[in-house]
């Protein structure tokens, strides 16, 4: 029964009946009654929050949720803006890989602001734009899922392209080009927008009632009639689209790429030691191969960072789907809340650090960044990628090795 109803019933009693009732429940004065009712009128979620704060795991969760997101937002905003500007520069835009990475910077920024910033703002101020209207609820959920899916599958596309360049170089010039890269990005956006479009009618703003009749703050969750899809089915679908399927594709292709690069490098070293590689064309192949390996290392770093930072989140989402069906005690739920928060922040870390990975492993990216920041002209060493292209082509044509020349040109992306 609602407390206001109880209070009105007590006030409607005669003085004698009221004193007798209060004496039975251990209250001897009106001040004690007011204190008792004041404590009882505290909202249910406030009682629950106070109970959770007794556990160190929940306090750690609150600290991480408050202080880590602004750091990730600052790093991610700076890094993604710089990455996009550098990768879209005319010196970098000739390669299809850089078009993929520029699109990745845009999607990473959207994921950070639609997901992390909105969540941090809600934790800090209690204001959640997602709960302000029905269309904001539906639109933000749809856009958030779409951007996160596209971001991950751009990494898959980059890994597939790197696999073709390294393992099937004769097909690279035909398959891996700027036009095709743009089409792939557009198709990924259209595909995942279509996949997540159902949120426009399966999500809605809801208000749940507590045990004492209190109405909780509005939440953007499943619309009535679609609870099973959103709470039971979609966590698995999202885990497959965002995590497990990309994880498997990237892991397998990266292993194949690493094995192929190691074998090719070992074979070249053996031929050099035996004196079989002496011609100018072979020197060009070595320079081009080194450039190819550097770019491959950079993209492998991006791929493995994705694997390490998103796997905990995928496991946590599936675990949450099981825990939601079981009533756990406050201590257990506090521990899981901490684990889930750490996994979620690791996921957002993946969308914040790509710029720093490019700087750490990408020689050409670093050179272009220094040139843009310092305003210097590109030194001759920075143009070596294209100059050695010409040198290799001339040397190979002179030696009559047209097939090798094509391979050289196609493999350096």
CATH number at residue 72: 1.20.1070.10
For the entire predicted model, the pTM comes to 0.76
Confidence class of residue 391 from pLDDT cuts 50, 70 and 90? very low
Residue 126: inside a domain, yes or no? yes
Residue 269: inside a domain, yes or no? yes
Q: Which residue has the higher pLDDT, 209 or 330?
A: 330
Token pair belonging to 315: 């496991």
Cβ neighbours of residue 3 under 8 Å, at least 6 residues apart? 37, 40, 41, 212, 213
Residue 270 and residue 163 in one domain: yes
Residue 223 and residue 280 in one domain: yes
Residue 9 and residue 157 in one domain: no
**Range(s) of the domain holding residue 31:** 3-40
Residue 47: inside a domain, yes or no? no
Residue 245 and residue 166 in one domain: yes
Q: Name, of 3-7, 74-78, 265-269, 286-290, the range with top average pLDDT.
A: 74-78
Residue 211: phi and psi, rounded to 5, are -70, -25
Token pair belonging to 143: 């856009």
Q: How far is CA 365 from each of CA 247, 301, 358, 379, 382, rounded to the nearest angstrom?
A: 26, 14, 6, 14, 10
Which residue, 232, 250, 228, 247, is CA-closest to 314?
A: 247
Q: Which residue has the higher pLDDT, 330 or 237?
A: 237
Residue 18 and residue 152 in one domain: no
Sequence-separated contacts (24+) of 56-60 with Cβ below 8 Å: 57/334, 57/335, 57/337, 57/338, 58/334, 58/337, 58/338, 60/338
- How many domains is the chain built from? 2
Q: Worst-scoring range by mean pLDDT, 131-145, 303-317, 326-340?
A: 326-340
Residue 343: inside a domain, yes or no? yes
Residue 46: inside a domain, yes or no? no
Average pLDDT over residues 320-324: 67
Residue 18 and residue 130 in one domain: no
Residue 35 and residue 56 in one domain: no
Residue 238 and residue 172 in one domain: yes
Residue 13 confidence (pLDDT) above 90: no
Confidence class of residue 77 from pLDDT cuts 50, 70 and 90? very high
Which residue, 89, 105, 250, is CA-closest to 185?
A: 105
Residue 45: inside a domain, yes or no? no
Residue 284 and residue 152 in one domain: yes
Query: How do residues 263-318 score in pLDDT, each as one tens digit?
Result: 877 766 666 666 655 554 455 555 455 556 777 788 888 988 988 998 888 788 77
Residue 131: inside a domain, yes or no? yes
What distance in Å separates the CA atoms of residue 159 and residue 153, rounded to the nearest whole number? 10
Residue 30 and residue 57 in one domain: no
Length of the chain: 413
Residue 188 and residue 299 in one domain: yes
Residue 189 and residue 61 in one domain: yes
Residue 206: inside a domain, yes or no? yes
104 and 184 in contact (C-beta within 8 Å)? no
| Angle subtended by helix axes 280-323 and 134-167, to nearest 10 | 150
């Amino acid at each position: 029964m609602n407390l206001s109803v109880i209070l009105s019933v007590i006030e409607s009693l005669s003085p004698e009946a009221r004193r007798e009732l209060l004496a039975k429940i251990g209250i001897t004065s009106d001040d004690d009654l007011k204190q008792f009712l004041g404590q009882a009128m505290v909202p249910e979620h406030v009682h629950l929050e106070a109970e959770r704060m007794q556990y160190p795991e929940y306090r750690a969760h609150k600290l991480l949720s408050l202080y880590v997101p602004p750091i990730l937002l600052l790093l991610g905003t700076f890094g993604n803006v710089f990455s996009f500007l550098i990768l879209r520069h005319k010196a970098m835009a000739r390669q299809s890989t850089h078009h993929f990475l520029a699109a990745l910077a845009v999607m990473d920024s959207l994921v950070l602001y639609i997901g992390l910033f909105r969540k941090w703002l809600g934790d800090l101020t209690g204001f959640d734009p997602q709960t302000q209207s029905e269309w904001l609820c539906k639109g933000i959920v749809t856009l958030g899922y779409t951007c996160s899916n596209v971001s991950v599958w751009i990494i898959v596309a980059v890994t597939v392209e790197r696999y073709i360049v390294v393992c099937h170089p004769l097909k690279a010039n035909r398959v891996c080009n700027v036009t095709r890269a743009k089409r792939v990005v557009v198709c990924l956006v259209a595909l995942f927008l279509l996949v997540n479009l159902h949120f426009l009618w399966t999500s809605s703003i809801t208000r749940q009632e507590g045990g004492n009749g209190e109405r909780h703050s509005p939440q953007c969750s499943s619309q009535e009639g679609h609870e099973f899809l959103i709470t039971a089915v979609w966590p698995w679908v999202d885990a497959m689209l965002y995590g497990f399927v990309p994880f498997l594709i990237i892991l397998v292709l990266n292993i194949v790429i690493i094995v192929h690069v190691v074998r090719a490098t070992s074979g070249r070293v053996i031929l050099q030691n035996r004196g079989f590689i002496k011609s100018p064309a072979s020197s060009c192949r070595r320079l081009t191969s080194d450039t190819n390996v550097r770019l491959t290392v950079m993209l492998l770093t991006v791929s493995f960072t994705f694997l390490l930072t998103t796997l905990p989140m995928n496991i946590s989402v599936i675990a949450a789907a099981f825990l939601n069906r079981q009533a756990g005690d406050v201590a257990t739920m506090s521990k899981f809340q901490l684990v889930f928060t750490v996994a979620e922040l690791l996921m957002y870390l993946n969308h914040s650090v790509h710029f720093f990975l490019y700087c750490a492993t990408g020689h050409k990216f670093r050179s272009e960044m220094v040139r843009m920041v310092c305003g210097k002209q590109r030194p001759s060493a920075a143009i070596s990628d294209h100059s050695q292209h010409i040198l290799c082509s001339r040397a190979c044509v002179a030696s009559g090795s047209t097939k090798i020349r094509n391979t050289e040109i196609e493999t350096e992306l």
